[in-house]
Each structure stands twice: as structure tokens, then as C-alpha cells.
């Protein structure tokens, strides 16, 4: 380590200040610093290293080692704008360098062509604000490939007959198949479906100085000690720092974007670890703070010039939240599956990606995977069949029998955009820094619930075909908890109905860009991070071109 | 070197690569130190001093934990040192749960006196009596739980709290201070190793490898 890391003073006017170091922020930091720009990344969470990661479920899940903590950042929830919101944690996101990519499952499907043009294909859906993207799959394809090769995705090109066209194979073979994958694959074939090896952002071979997966089994929810999980922390941040032009500044909680009287962003104001405030000056500001915190920051930045929040002339900031719909079916098998070994997912199925909505009576589509993502204590609390005694001999017997014999089919699907769903500032509740708390308003579009009920039935059929000894599933109900924070500052050509243009530039502020889950126009079928990163690679190209041709300074 | 240390070291060694080994050399003493206190406390033959619970309270807590996850052919809460985990939790991250424990233990002893003539303390009742008494306590209190998400461990309700703490003390990684010698993982069949390679279990043992042709074949 001969590299000395660069550090800037807040008063230095850098080229870009990026808020957030997650899936999008990490990519933008790496790309823009590699392109010669001076970059400061402000991350509200700590800068954890692999040696800070642990397999201690208590620290990770209940003490929020890697994620936002409701004690510091409470949020409120209501179903409709007519309701009074109550304190209830509705949002979970990564709060450390690398963001949610540190703890994610790492399912890395590309969106399909349909996801970009759903509105022109199906027309208006009552109650939904479905719209086409200003870009198509074709625009994004080279950047999907870039994610696969630069961030590191394992998979098998051509294995799914439903896959959209691709310009290059995966850089690495798929991860090994798990027992759940084998059982799921056989059942799916039996029913005439087309299972395929899961594309995962986890290294199946050593690459770029990182180790390959050791199959430790503490994956979803946990940070990877060996750097095999392709988080921004493992894959992007080190490259950005190596340029000598990018500073990652952790424990820096941004409170607003500062604009001058000409309506140009001049930097961002933030609290350091000691809660002193600073302003980091920059020629341009990029918010990659996630689909909850990016709109919150815009709303917190309201002033007399922008009374409804920054970049909100459309009124669309914080609207159209799409958390993706989900359903789960679990089963116990006769023999040990030992699915706790490895990572979460090894087989996926996309036969339901595009459903016949006229025949079924609802719009939407989904994907399914076979997985086991429970760790021992979380399994004991939530992985046993309904009706199992909660303590005593029978409880223990079920743990002894089932831990090694259980896996689940996870159904992921569309969330239709609904304007009333989203994030706003709570009028009463404040966070530990005295800033208005996030208020989440959400009620699933009825089609999303119908889709999940339908997918759940398919999952149960698959478990039957798989020869499950016992199977059960959670009833489909309205969601009140979101981890996929999508659509809340949507991209579009029309400044009246969207917040950013196809270059990720806000329609209203020339040197303010947004890039993260909030940019998505539709929700795909449940695995958004791959697309968020493809967008970030593309945004970096667009922003570089604009900066180099003098179109940001204006 | 005890099992915990051996397993952690094994994991770190198998992590492999120059980076892994260098990291291990730099971090190893700190990792051992962090794990040491809890582990030594849990594995000592004579219990070390409890920091929050009185000896008498600890006896009751240990008996309740042993009812929640009993010892049978496989180790239970007792062998995993759950009571030491709980005492340490009450001193560190679960200080808010102390009143629930105090009240809960007192109530359990009341129920013991009422239901088991001549017995003052829950821990002194027979296993069958304990099961019945704990059942009465559970009936008095609210239910809880839910899929997937871990309980918070600070519910006001004594039974829910001690249930969550017992599960943690039995099954969470030993670095959290319980699961002595991986007793909990052994009971549920979780191999304490930290690196695995396929085949992982019964069903993937004879997997022939991915066959794209199969998807074509099934079309006919």
C-alpha cells in the first residue's frame, strides 16, 4: 500500500460531490475519477473493512452494523395520503461505504426489453402511472456488459431462453449449484419451465485481486470477509481511490444541496461524525443516496426559489415508489439439502417474466429463485412450518430436523408505479440530527397483489413437483416494508412528468444529477441493482461528455 | 487452541490468497481477544461471576432456557452456555430488558409456589412441573414473532424476550458470547466450518452438470 489517499478540504471546489457510496455512487466515483475528475464521495455511514464484518446475527440484524437504524433515523408510515402517518420502520438500506451492495443477495438479472417500453406495449393501467423510459434496453446493453465485467458477475450466457440479447458472455462461469437449485431445476423441467444458473454478483473465480466465494453461508444481510461479493466496497471504491483523485468521506450525513441565486448547485451541506456542519463545494452535485434519501434531500433543500423542494417543478420528487412485489413458499425435504452452505441462490426461472395480462386479468410479471438465505438464529425464529411449537422438545426437534432440510422459492415481481406511493417529509417526527424524518406512503396496486397470489400458487406447484415433504407459504398481503427503493425521481423526456432526463440531469437544476434506484421508471421483475449499476455506468459516460464539452458549467 | 479459535483460524487460513493471510496475521490477536472473554466465561468449569443476574436469578434463567431448548440426544441451551450469554447481553446490548427479567423471574417463582407445593423456585421444580409452570406463564403473556426478521430481544414481555435471547445464545455465532463450542450448531446440523465446497448435501451429490440440451429435450 504505497498509495496515499487524496483528501480535499470542504472549501476546495471539486469537480463532483457524490452523495452516497452504494451501487450507483460507487460506480460513478470510480468512473468519474478514472476520467480525470476530482471527486468527493460523502457517505453517511462508516467505512467498514472486511475485518469489521462478522457472522454475528445480533450485531448485523438487530444492532444495524451495516444498515440504517430506526433509533437514529426514524421513519413514519401510512397507507394513503389521507392517513396520518405513524412511527414504523418502513425502509431498510445499507448505511456504510458500499451501501446496500455490501449486504445484498447479489441476484444480478438484467432487465428485459419489455421493462423499458411497458406503457407503449400495454397502454394505460387504471390507478397506475406507467410510462416508457426515455432509453431502451439497447441503450443500456453495453453498460450491463460493463457491470458484468468490471463489477464482477458470474453466470452462463444463453442459458435462459428468455434472456435479452447480449454483446458478450459473462466473465466467469456460474457459482456451483446448490441442493435447492438441483431440486428446483428438476421440478421446473417436469412442469415444462426453463430454469437456468443464477447470474450472481459474486466471484466464482478469483478476479482483479479479489478472492472467489468460499461458500461460508453468511451472505444475504452480511458483508463478505473475502471480497467475493461484488459490492461497491469490494469492486469499485478501491479503484476510485487508486486514481488519487477520489476521496471517500465516511460518517458524513448530508442535510441539503446548496443552490445560489442563479439556481445552480454550489455544493452540499453535511454533518461530520461530531455533528459539526460543513459545506463541500463542487462544480456539480450527484445524488446517489438511494430511492428514499435522494428525494428526501431534494425536499430538505427547499428554499424560496424552490419552495416545493429542489428539482421538483414536476411535483414528482418522492412519487411512484416501487418496492417490487414478493411472495415466498417454503418446504422441508426428506434428505439434508444443507442449503445453508454457499450463497443464497443458484437457480432462477424467468418463464413468468411476461405474462398474458388479458388472459390473467392483471398486469405484471415475475421471476423465481430457489434459495436458503436464513442464518441459524433467524431460521429458528422464522423458518419453521406454521403451527410448530415455539419452545420445548417439539420446537427443538423441528430445528434439528428442518434446518438442513428446508429451502424456499422466492417470487419477485413487478410493482406498478402509483403516484400516491412514495416518500415525503414527516411534519412532526425528526431524526437525531433534527431533520424531518422520512414519511413513507404505500399501498400496493391491486394488480401487484394479484400477481403475487398467482406466483405463489406456481411456487407451491413447483414444490409439489419437487417432492416436498411439507410445504407452506405466507399469505400475500399489502407491503409495509421496502428495501428496493425505486422510481421516486423518475427519468423522462417531459419535465412536467419526470425529475431527471436521460442524462440523469435534473430538469430544473443544470448541474444537479440524480442516479440510483430513484431514477428507474419501471420496477422490472424484482432485481434492480444490476440495472442501477448499468445506469450509473451510462450516467458517468453522459456526465463526462457534458462536462468535457462545457455543458455543465453553462 | 480451543474449537472456536481453531475454527476461526481455519476459516481465515482457508480464505486463502496473500491478502487473506496478511489480514489474518494483522487481525488475529484482536479477533481472539474479542472472542476470548465470552468464550472463557462460557467454557469455565466453575461459573464466573454473573454481572447482572444474581446467582439465584441465573439459576431460574438457566432453567427457563433449558425448557425453551431442552437437552436431549443433542446439546441444549444449558450446554451452549445460554445463561452466560444472557447475563452478558443484559450488561451490554439488552440493558433495557433487565426489568422484564426481574419481573418475569418473580412471576415464575410465584407460579411455582402456587402450582408445586413445597417448591419455592422454578429451577427446583421437576422438569415436568417446569414445563407446566412455564406454559402458564406463556399463556399469561402475548405472542410474537414473525417470518424472517429476528425479534428485537427487548419486548416488554418476559417470555418473548428470553425466548429470543435463548435462541441467540444457542444459535448466533459464538463471537456473540453463546453457542459454546458450537453446541447449538451441532444440534441443528450446521457444520461449524466457514468454507464449503460442493456437493453440499444429498440432492446435489450426483448432479451431472448444467445441461442446456435438457431444456430442448423437454420441449418435444
pLDDT the model gives residue B9: 43
SS3 A295: helix
Q: How far is B205 from chain A (nearest CA, A)?
A: 8
Q: Where are the alpha helices (DSSP H) in chain B?
A: 3-15, 17-43, 55-68, 82-91, 98-115, 127-140, 158-171, 183-188, 212-217
Q: What is the mean pLDDT of residues B60-75?
A: 98
B70 touches chain A (CB under 8 A): yes
pLDDT over 70 for what percent of chain A?
99
Q: Which residues pair with A376 in a beta bridge?
A: none
Q: Can you say whether the dihedral through the CA atoms of B205, B210, B216, B217 is positive or negative? A: negative
pLDDT the model gives residue B35: 40
| CB-based contacts of A403, cutoff 8 Å, min separation 6 | A340, A376, A379, A383, B188, B189, B190
Q: How far apart are CA B89 and CA B152, in angstroms?
A: 12
**A345 shares its domain with A313:** no
B18 touches chain A (CB under 8 A): no
B58 touches chain A (CB under 8 A): no
Q: Single out the residue of A114, A122, A103, A108 nearest to residue A150, CA to CA.
A: A108
A387 touches chain B (CB under 8 A): no
pLDDT the model gives residue B107: 95
pLDDT the model gives residue A97: 98
pLDDT tens by residue, A22-54: 999 999 999 999 999 999 999 999 999 988 999
**A168 shares its domain with A20:** no
Residue A281 lies in a domain: yes
Burial B105-144 (b: 16+ CB within 10 A, else e): bebbbebbbeebeebebbbbbeeeebeebbeebbeebeeb
pLDDT band at A1 (very low <50, low <70, confident <90, very high): very low
Range of the domain at A282: 9-104+109-152+231-320+423-437+482-554
Length of chain B: 220
Mutate to test the interface with B, among A188, A226, A337 (most CBs of B within 10 A): A226
Contacts B201 to A, Cβ<8 Å? 179, 335-339, 341, 404
Q: What's the angle, vertex CA A219, arms to CA A476 and CA A516, rounded to 5?
A: 70
| CB-based contacts of A397, cutoff 8 Å, min separation 6 | none
Q: How far apart are CA A100 and CA A289, in angstroms?
A: 11
Contacts B215 to A, Cβ<8 Å? 161, 189, 194
Residue A223 lies in a domain: no
A216 touches chain B (CB under 8 A): yes
Burial A72-104 (b: 16+ CB within 10 A, else e): ebbbbbbbeeeeebeeebbbbbbbbbbbbbbbb
Residue B161 lies in a domain: yes
Q: What is the mean pLDDT of residues A74-103?
A: 97
Burial B186-196 (b: 16+ CB within 10 A, else e): bbbbbbbbbbb
Highest mean predicted confidence (pLDDT) among A287-291, B16-20, B160-164: A287-291
> What is A19-63 written as a DSSP string?
E--SHHHHHHHHHHHHTT--EEEE-SS----GGG----HIIIIIS
Q: Tell me how many residue pairs between chain A and chain B have CB atoms under 8 A apart.
A: 195
pLDDT the model gives residue B193: 92
Query: ipTM of this predicted complex?
Result: 0.95
Q: How far is B212 from chain A (nearest CA, A)?
A: 6
Residue B121 lies in a domain: yes
Q: What is the mean pLDDT of residues B60-79?
A: 98
The nearest alpha carbon in chain A to B204 belongs to A179
- Residue-averaged pLDDT of chain A: 97
Q: How far apart are CA A516 and CA A491, in angstroms?
A: 11
Least confident of A86-90, A304-308, A326-330, B208-212: B208-212
Q: What is the mean pLDDT of residues A257-268?
A: 97
pLDDT the model gives residue A137: 98
Contacts A182 to B, Cβ<8 Å? 203-204, 207
| CB-based contacts of B18, cutoff 8 Å, min separation 6 | none
Window 287-326 of A, Cβ < 8 Å to B: none
DSSP designation for A19: E
The burial of A474, by beta-carbon neighbours within 10 Å (0-12 exposed, 13-18 middle, 19 or more buried), is given as: middle
**A428 shares its domain with A409:** no
Q: How far is A321 from chain B (nearest CA, A)?
A: 23
pLDDT tens by residue, A178-224: 999 999 999 999 999 999 999 999 999 999 999 999 999 999 999 99
**A403 shares its domain with A505:** no
Strands (E), A38-191: 39-42, 75-78, 86-87
Domain of A494, CATH number, reads 3.50.50.60
Residue A211 lies in a domain: no
pLDDT the model gives residue B20: 39
Q: How many domains does chain B have?
A: 1
| CB-based contacts of A235, cutoff 8 Å, min separation 6 | A26, A150, A151, A152, A208, A210
A149 touches chain B (CB under 8 A): no
Q: How far is B165 from chain A (nearest CA, A)?
A: 10
**A312 shares its domain with A400:** no
**A501 shares its domain with A431:** yes
Cβ contact A435:A271 at 8 Å: no
Q: How far apart are CA B139 and CA A65, in angstroms?
A: 35
B33 touches chain A (CB under 8 A): no
Contacts A342 to B, Cβ<8 Å? 196, 198, 200
Q: Single out the residue of B14, B11, B21, B31 nearest to residue B194, CA to CA.
A: B11
Window 219-238 of A, Cβ < 8 Å to B: 225-227
Q: Is A387 left (phi over 0), alpha (psi -120 to 50) or beta?
A: left
Q: How many domains does chain A have?
A: 2
pLDDT tens by residue, A291-314: 999 999 999 999 999 999 999 999
Q: Is B71 left (phi over 0), alpha (psi -120 to 50) or beta?
A: beta
**A119 shares its domain with A26:** yes
Q: What is the mean pLDDT of residues B127-133?
A: 97
Cβ contact A270:A253 at 8 Å: yes
Cβ within 8 Å, pair B70-A392: yes
pLDDT band at B141 (very low <50, low <70, confident <90, very high): confident
Does the structure show a pLDDT above 60 at B151?
Answer: no
pLDDT tens by residue, A198-209: 999 999 999 999
Residue B212 lies in a domain: no
Range of the domain at B31: 3-188
Does the structure show a pLDDT above 60 at A118?
Answer: yes
Q: How far is A58 from chain B (nearest CA, A)?
A: 7
The nearest alpha carbon in chain A to B205 belongs to A179
The burial of A477, by beta-carbon neighbours within 10 Å (0-12 exposed, 13-18 middle, 19 or more buried), is given as: exposed
Residue A1 lies in a domain: no
Q: How far apart are CA A344 and CA A102, in angstroms?
A: 14
Cβ contact A303:A144 at 8 Å: no
B137 touches chain A (CB under 8 A): no
Does the structure show a pLDDT above 70 at A496?
Answer: yes
Residue A418 lies in a domain: no
- H or E stretch covering A371: strand A366-371
**Rounded to whole angstroms, what are the CA distances from A316 to A294, A494, B166?**
13, 12, 47
pLDDT tens by residue, A412-470: 999 999 999 999 999 999 999 999 999 999 999 999 999 999 999 999 999 999 999 99
**A431 shares its domain with A394:** no
Q: How far apart are CA A247 and CA A29, in angstroms?
A: 9
B103 touches chain A (CB under 8 A): no
Peptide bond just before A549 cis, omega within 30 deg: no
**A288 shares its domain with A147:** yes
Q: Which residues pair with A464 in a beta bridge?
A: none
**A538 shares its domain with A432:** yes
Least confident of A65-74, B70-79, B162-171, B209-218: B209-218
Q: How far is B26 from chain A (nearest CA, A)?
A: 10
Phi, psi of A506 (to 5 degrees): -65, 145
**A120 shares its domain with A258:** yes
Residue A214 lies in a domain: no
pLDDT band at B140 (very low <50, low <70, confident <90, very high): confident
pLDDT tens by residue, A375-401: 999 999 999 999 999 999 999 999 999
Cβ within 8 Å, pair B163-A474: no
pLDDT band at B157 (very low <50, low <70, confident <90, very high): confident
pLDDT tens by residue, A158-168: 999 999 999 99
Residue B145 lies in a domain: yes
DSSP designation for A174: P
The burial of A184, by beta-carbon neighbours within 10 Å (0-12 exposed, 13-18 middle, 19 or more buried), is given as: buried
Domain of A368, CATH number, reads 3.30.410
Pick the residue with more confidence: A306 or A553? A306
The nearest alpha carbon in chain B to A61 belongs to B150
**A85 shares its domain with A141:** yes
Burial A488-505 (b: 16+ CB within 10 A, else e): bbbbbeebeebbbbbbbb
SS3 A80: coil
Residue A183 lies in a domain: yes
pLDDT over 90 for what percent of chain A?
97
Q: How far apart are CA B6 and CA B42, in angstroms?
A: 17
Q: How far apart are CA A410 and CA A327, in angstroms?
A: 6
Cβ within 8 Å, pair A400-B148: no
Residue B206 lies in a domain: no
Residue A79 lies in a domain: yes
pLDDT the model gives residue B143: 55
Amino acid at each position: 500500500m504505497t498509495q496515499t489517499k487524496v483528501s480535499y478540504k470542504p472549501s476546495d471546489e471539486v469537480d463532483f460531490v457524490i452523495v452516497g457510496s452504494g451501487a450507483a455512487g460507487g460506480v460513478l466515483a470510480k468512473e468519474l475519477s478514472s476520467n480525470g475528475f476530482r471527486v468527493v464521495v460523502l457517505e453517511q455511514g462508516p467505512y467498514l473493512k472486511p475485518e469489521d464484518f462478522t457472522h454475528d446475527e445480533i450485531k448485523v440484524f438487530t444492532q444495524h452494523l451495516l444498515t440504517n437504524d430506526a433509533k437514529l433515523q426514524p421513519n413514519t408510515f401510512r397507507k394513503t395520503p389521507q392517513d396520518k402517518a405513524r412511527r414504523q420502520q418502513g425502509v431498510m438500506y445499507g448505511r456504510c461505504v458500499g451501501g446496500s451492495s455490501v449486504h445484498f443477495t447479489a441476484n444480478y438479472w438484467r432487465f428485459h426489453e419489455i421493462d423499458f417500453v411497458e406503457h407503449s406495449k400495454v397502454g394505460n393501467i387504471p390507478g397506475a402511472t406507467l410510462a416508457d423510459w426515455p432509453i431502451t434496453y439497447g441503450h443500456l446493453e453495453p453498460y450491463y456488459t460493463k457491470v458484468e465485467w468490471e463489477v464482477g458477475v458470474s453466470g452462463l450466457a444463453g442459458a435462459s431462453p428468455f434472456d435479452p440479447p447480449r454483446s458478450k458472455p459473462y466473465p466467469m462461469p456460474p457459482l456451483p449449484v446448490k441442493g435447492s437449485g438441483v431440486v428446483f431445476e428438476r421440478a421446473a423441467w417436469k412442469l415444462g419451465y426453463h430454469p437456468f444458473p443464477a447470474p450472481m454478483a459474486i466471484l466464482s473465480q478469483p478476479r482483479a485481486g479479489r478472492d472467489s466465494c468460499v461458500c461460508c453461508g453468511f451472505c444475504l444481510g452480511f458483508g463478505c470477509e473475502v471480497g467475493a461479493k461484488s459490492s461497491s466496497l469490494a469492486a469499485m471504491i478501491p479503484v476510485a481511490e487508486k486514481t488519487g483523485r477520489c476521496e471517500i468521506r465516511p460518517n458524513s450525513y448530508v442535510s441539503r444541496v446548496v443552490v445560489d441565486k442563479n439556481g445552480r448547485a454550489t455544493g452540499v451541506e453535511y454533518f461530520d461524525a461530531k455533528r459539526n456542519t460543513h459545506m463541500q463545494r463542487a462544480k456539480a452535485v450527484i445524488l446517489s443516496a438511494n430511492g428514499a434519501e435522494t428525494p428526501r434531500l431534494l425536499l430538505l433543500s427547499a428554499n424560496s426559489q424552490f419552495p416545493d423542494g429542489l428539482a421538483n417543478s414536476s411535483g414528482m420528487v418522492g412519487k411512484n415508489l416501487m418496492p417490487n412485489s414478493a411472495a415466498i413458499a417454503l418446504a422441508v425435504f426428506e434428505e439434508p439439502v444443507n442449503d445453508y452452505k454457499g450463497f443464497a441462490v443458484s437457480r432462477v426461472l424467468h418463464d413468468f417474466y411476461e405474462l398474458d395480462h388479458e388472459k390473467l386479468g392483471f398486469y405484471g410479471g415475475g421471476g423465481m429463485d430457489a434459495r436458503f438465505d436464513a442464518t441459524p438464529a433467524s431460521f429458528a425464529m422464522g423458518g419453521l412450518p406454521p403451527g410448530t411449537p415455539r419452545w420445548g422438545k417439539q420446537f427443538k426437534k423441528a430445528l434439528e430436523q428442518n434446518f438442513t432440510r428446508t429451502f424456499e422459492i422466492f417470487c419477485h415481481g413487478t410493482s406498478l408505479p402509483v403516484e400516491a406511493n412514495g416518500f415525503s417529509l414527516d411534519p412532526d417526527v425528526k431524526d437525531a440530527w433534527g431533520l424531518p424524518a422520512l414519511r413513507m406512503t404505500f399501498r400496493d396496486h391491486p394488480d401487484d397483489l394479484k400477481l403475487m397470489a398467482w406466483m405463489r400458487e406456481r411456487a407451491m406447484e413447483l414444490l409439489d413437483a419437487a417432492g416436498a415433504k411439507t410445504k407452506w407459504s405466507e399469505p400475500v398481503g399489502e407491503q409495509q416494508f421496502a428495501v428496493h427503493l425505486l422510481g421516486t425521481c423518475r427519468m423522462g423526456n417531459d419535465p412536467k412528468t419526470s425529475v431527471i432526463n436521460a442524462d440523469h440531469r435534473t430538469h430544473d437544476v443544470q448541474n444537479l444529477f440524480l442516479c440510483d434506484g430513484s431514477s428507474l421508471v419501471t420496477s422490472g421483475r424484482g432485481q434492480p441493482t444490476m440495472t442501477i449499476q448499468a445506469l450509473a455506468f451510462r450516467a458517468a459516460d453522459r456526465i463526462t461528455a457534458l462536462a468535457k464539452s462545457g455543458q455543465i458549467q453553462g | 487452541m480451543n474449537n472456536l479459535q481453531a475454527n476461526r483460524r481455519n476459516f481465515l487460513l482457508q480464505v486463502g490468497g496473500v491478502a487473506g493471510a496478511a489480514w489474518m496475521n494483522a487481525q488475529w490477536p484482536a479477533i481472539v481477544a474479542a472472542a476470548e472473554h465470552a468464550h472463557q466465561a462460557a467454557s469455565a468449569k466453575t461459573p464466573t461471576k454473573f454481572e447482572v443476574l444474581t446467582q439465584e436469578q441465573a439459576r431460574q434463567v438457566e432453567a427457563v432456557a433449558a425448557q425453551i431448548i431442552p437437552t436431549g440426544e443433542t446439546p441444549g441451551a444449558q450446554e451452549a452456555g445460554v445463561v452466560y450469554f444472557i447475563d452478558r447481553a443484559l450488561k451490554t446490548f439488552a440493558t433495557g430488558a433487565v426489568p422484564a427479567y426481574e419481573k418475569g423471574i418473580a412471576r415464575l417463582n410465584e407460579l411455582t409456589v402456587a402450582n408445586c407445593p413445597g417448591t419455592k423456585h422454578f429451577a427446583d421444580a421437576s422438569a415436568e412441573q417446569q414445563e407446566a409452570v412455564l406454559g402458564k406463564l406463556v399463556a399469561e403473556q402475548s405472542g410474537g414473532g414473525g417470518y424472517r426478521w429476528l425479534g428485537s430481544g427487548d419486548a416488554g414481555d418476559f417470555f418473548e424476550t428470553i425466548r429470543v435471547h435463548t435462541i441467540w445464545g444457542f444459535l448466533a455465532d459464538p463471537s456473540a458470547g453463546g453457542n459454546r463450542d458450537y453446541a447449538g450448531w451441532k444440534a441443528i446440523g450446521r457444520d461449524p466450518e466457514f468454507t464449503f465446497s460442493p456437493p453440499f448435501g444429498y440432492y446435489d451429490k450426483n448432479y451431472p452438470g448444467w445441461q442446456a440440451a435438457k431444456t430442448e429435450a423437454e420441449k418435444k
